[in-house]
Amino acid sequence: MSVVIDTNPATGKAVAELNETDLATLPGRFEKARQAQRIWAAKSFKERAVHIKRMRDYIRDNAEGLARVVSESNGKTLVDALATEVLPCALACQWYGRNAEKVLASKRRSGGSLLFANKRTEIRRLPLGVVGIISPWNYPLSIPFGEIIMGLMAGNAVLLKVAAATPAVGRAIEGIVEAGQLPDGLFQHIVGSGSAVATAFFENGVDKLFFTGSVNAGKVLMAQAARTLTPLSLELGGNDPMIVLADADLERATNGAAWAGYQNAGQSCGGVERVYVEASVYDDFVELLAKKTRALRHGPGNDTSIPVDIGSLTTEGQKCTVEQHLEDALAKGARIEAQSRPVGDVENGYFLPATLLTQVTDDMLVMREETFGPIIAVTAVANVEKALEKANDSKLALTSSIWTRDNKKGRALAARLESGVTTLNDHLYSHGLSETPWGGWKESGIGRTHGPEGLEEMTHVKAINWDLLPAKRNLWWYPFDRATYKGLLNALRFAFPKNPLQWLGASLKLTPFLVWKMFGKQK
């Protein structure tokens, strides 16, 4: 059996060893999951919520240990891990535990026409069965855990595969779920290669796959899923714009840019990468953001007694990508306006300074692709129309933000931005709002997680329809004859009359025929 070693990217030291899952065991694992899922689906929402509450309490009681596991596995600081990983997990338990029943309860659907006045419809949300989750290394705890809770509250079994770079976090998730005392086999953690596990999921009939990762990997999964028509939910990243209007509070805007651009070493698919500032306040914005960038400290962040703002990148490959994007920008004329300063030993980790770039152009990689590192590129625009044009000129469309003191104007402009989420005077936080849907347009993915929409993605939609009064036949059933033909014409004119007189004539002819056809005895 192969051993997977989890290495701290900030120090280069091994922090955990896990056994890779033998994929030959997947058929048995799926069967066990399906047996457990039948037991779980029979429970009420309130009964399921009791188990979820136990997980929430475990997170509360073990918050510091969970934050440390995330920090050592991913490279982010302890503060970052606590704020953006551990806390959102507890919030997810609370919101889905309380709201899943309301969102997924059976609902009556009102009729659409008097012609179907005898029909009644109920919409039910049924569990999918066994859902697979393949999660990334940038938020190795909070991204998959929210989906796990959604899947469980919807009545499903869950098979999780965390990123190969952060397997120790998967083991930490095992501990949280174990505290929930679920039926044996309902949740299972798979350790191994993402592509191999995804293939095994499809081969074993996974009912839906939730994937967060790169655009290229998402396209490969779509091609695989097409062979069996397996549904997918894909969140594939972003190159997110921030628009700063002339009336913005620049102190808040620069604080927000620094947070959303540099947090998690810039490894946030919903973080700020491109900033478009109206020309009249551009110089002031850059001056303020440069000052804040220089004040930031990057280094190992696993000791809260040594203040550090930004940890390491998580993989060597990502560090190389960010360096390539920076070199491309500098070669094309960009200027480094400011950088953060190192704290502690940064020689053995994948550290890069937070970097503010100006004099950027639209052809640079930092403006066209997802850099996924601690780089913010700022450019001036003549007006908000030009900012919107440039912001929407991207194949990625996950999140965006507008900064203005005028919320009414901001909301109107937000509706014109092509992204799954637009925030006003804030950025990079809505993923932590359990009640808010998360997902993007274009190549940022398909489907939604979080909120009512995320719960609904974990279910089949089933319509159940019946008659209020017992009828012998419907208007359009056999026999087909002249009377039926005229009855259907009168039904059409009754439903869509060109004037009141036509409606009256059609109703007088339709009513006796309808009663006779539906309730009378015919030879």
Q: Which helix (H) or strand (E) holds 209?
A: strand 208-212
CA gap 457, 135 in Å, rounded: 17
Question: Which residue's structure tokens are 């037991």?
Answer: 39
Structure token digits, residue 212: 């967060």
Q: Are 437 and 454 in contact (CB under 8 A)?
A: yes
User: Which residues, 6 or more positions from 261, have their beta carbon under 8 angstroms from its beta carbon?
Assistant: 271, 272, 273, 275, 354, 374, 375, 376
Q: Is 385 among the residues known to form the active site?
A: no
Dihedral sign of CA atoms 391, 392, 395, 399 in order = positive
Structure token digits, residue 497: 């009359």
CA gap 76, 309 in Å, rounded: 9
Strand pairing class (208-212; 232-235) = parallel
Strand pairing class (187-190; 157-161) = parallel
Structure token digits, residue 231: 């549904």
In the chain, the N- to C-terminal Cα span, in Å, equals: 74
Structure token digits, residue 20: 């890779």
Neighbour tally for 486: CB within 10 Å: 13
Q: Are 350 and 318 in contact (CB under 8 A)?
A: yes
Q: What is the dihedral of CA 223, 228, 234, 239, to 10 degrees?
A: 10
Quick one: which of 259, 240, 256 has its CA closest to 425?
A: 256
DSSP 151: H
The Cβ-side half-sphere exposure at 225, using a 13 Å CA radius, reads 19
CA gap 338, 89 in Å, rounded: 34
Quick one: which of 414, 332, 338, 403 has its CA closest to 376?
A: 338
Strand pairing class (421-424; 399-403) = parallel
Quick one: which of 158, 129, 163, 157 has its CA closest to 143?
A: 163
User: Which residues, 6 or more positions from 19, have their beta carbon under 8 angstroms from its beta carbon?
Assistant: 1, 2, 3, 4, 191
| Catalytic one of 147, 235, 337, 457 | 235
CA gap 79, 345 in Å, rounded: 18
User: Which residues, 6 or more positions from 247, have their beta carbon under 8 angstroms from its beta carbon?
Assistant: 404, 405, 406
Which positions are catalytic? 235
